[in-house]
Amino acid sequence: MGLVRTPSVVAIVLSPAMSPKEPAAVDPHAPIAGRSLVDWVTAAATRASIRHVLVVDWSSDRDHTFDRDDGVVVRRIPVGAVGIGDAVSRGMEAIAPSLTIDDDALAVVLVADAPQVDGPLLRAMLRTHRSDSAAASLFVDPHRDDADGAAVEGMRTVHEPETLDGVLILRAAVLGPTLRRATSRHRVVEPSSADVVAELRDLGHPVTVRALEQPLTRITNHRDRVDVESQLRQRIVERWLDRGVAIPDPRQVTIDADVEIGPGTIVHPGTVIVGQSVIGEGAILGPNAEIRDATIGTGAHIAHAVVDGADVDPHEVVQPFTVVRR
């Protein structure tokens, strides 16, 4: 569904092409820490107050538009045989039909197989891009020794990488044409960041390339996936610690991204909370509790037990070595 008003910022999420060697490692729809790769990056965009998200999807065969309850519009566009540049252009026409070459709307290009990006980081990138007054900004991994500029919000100037990694911010109107030129000239499925930067500069657009403080590792194999999932799960645990949840040994608990936990709850070692589970305030979970898509009432106590898709009443004690199902 097209919008009459052109959004100020659009997030473009590039879903990864499946790896012929380890396809399960980069499946964009397989859950990692409770969310798909695409959903992790989409969530980061919405936390950065980006209300329009275009997902360019290699695994989809038709267009989908989702108007979410929070006002975010998500549109999925299949790549198919048209190529990534044409897919992006078609998606932009659907999201912003009034977009012109002179429009100042920004596109934030994210690769879904680097899901560590988060909302605060994206907001910092947008601030840096605007302060640089560049036509385009590319933010890449910090593990390079060729820095030649001063840091801006933890970012320093570097040379562009040889793969399409990191985050690219540029005027939305030039994104599709640039990707088409890069894929056509280099005869590749997905152009590298160096290719995209070269095309932008050929078109007369100044580009700033900056390094981030923390790496955004792209998942290309199962080892990468394990490392990235560990980082994401650590981030989840830290979020709940900051919100007043007690976790005596964070290394020995598993909490999915979309779980909700009330303050004052204690999560003991060996506890697994996954799916869309909702935990009330002051609950005591564990040791060795498994909670899947369940609603746990305030002050409930569950240890050495499984609650699968069921409701546990406030202050209820689930007996050890039992399984509670809906």
Backbone angles phi, psi at 42, to 5 degrees: -60, -40
User: pLDDT tens for residues 196-207?
Assistant: 888 888 888 888
Q: Retrieve residue 247's tokens.
A: 């976790």
Say yes or no to pLDDT of 35 above 80: yes
Name the most confidently modeled range: 35-44, 54-63, 153-162: 35-44
Mean per-residue pLDDT, 279-287 = 97
Name the most confidently modeled range: 20-34, 58-72, 171-185: 171-185
In this structure, how many other beta carbons lie within 10 angstroms of the beta carbon of residue 55? 25
Mean per-residue pLDDT, 67-89 = 75
Q: What is the reported pLDDT for 24? A: 58
More confident residue, 65 or 175: 175
Q: Where are the domains of the chain?
A: 9-211, 243-325
Written out in words, the top-level CATH class of the domain with range 9-211 is alpha beta
Query: In which band, very low, low, confident or very high, does the pLDDT at 39 lie, cut at 50, 70 and 90?
Result: very high
Q: Where does the chain have alpha helices with state H? A: 37-47, 84-95, 119-132, 172-186, 193-202, 222-242
Q: What is the reported pLDDT for 27? A: 80
**Residue pair 317/289 in contact by the 8 Å Cβ criterion:** no
Q: Retrieve residue 179's tokens.
A: 């990707």
Say yes or no to pLDDT of 135 above 60: yes
Residues in the chain: 326
Mean per-residue pLDDT, 149-160 = 41
Say yes or no to pLDDT of 213 above 90: no
SS3 36: strand
More confident residue, 184 or 129: 129
DSSP state letter for 4: S
> In whole angstroms, what is the distance from residue 245 CA to residue 243 CA?
6
Q: What is the reported pLDDT for 316? A: 97
Mean per-residue pLDDT, 234-262 = 97
- To the nearest whole number, what is the mean pLDDT of the chain? 83
Mean per-residue pLDDT, 88-108 = 74
Q: What is the reported pLDDT for 161? A: 43
Superfamily of domain covering 243-325: Hexapeptide repeat proteins (2.160.10.10)
Query: In which band, very low, low, confident or very high, does the pLDDT at 310 lie, cut at 50, 70 and 90?
Result: very high
Q: What is the reported pLDDT for 182? A: 82
More confident residue, 98 or 185: 185
Burial string for 141-172 (b: 16+ CB within 10 Å, else e) reads: bbeeeeeeeeebeebbbbebbebbbbbbbbbb
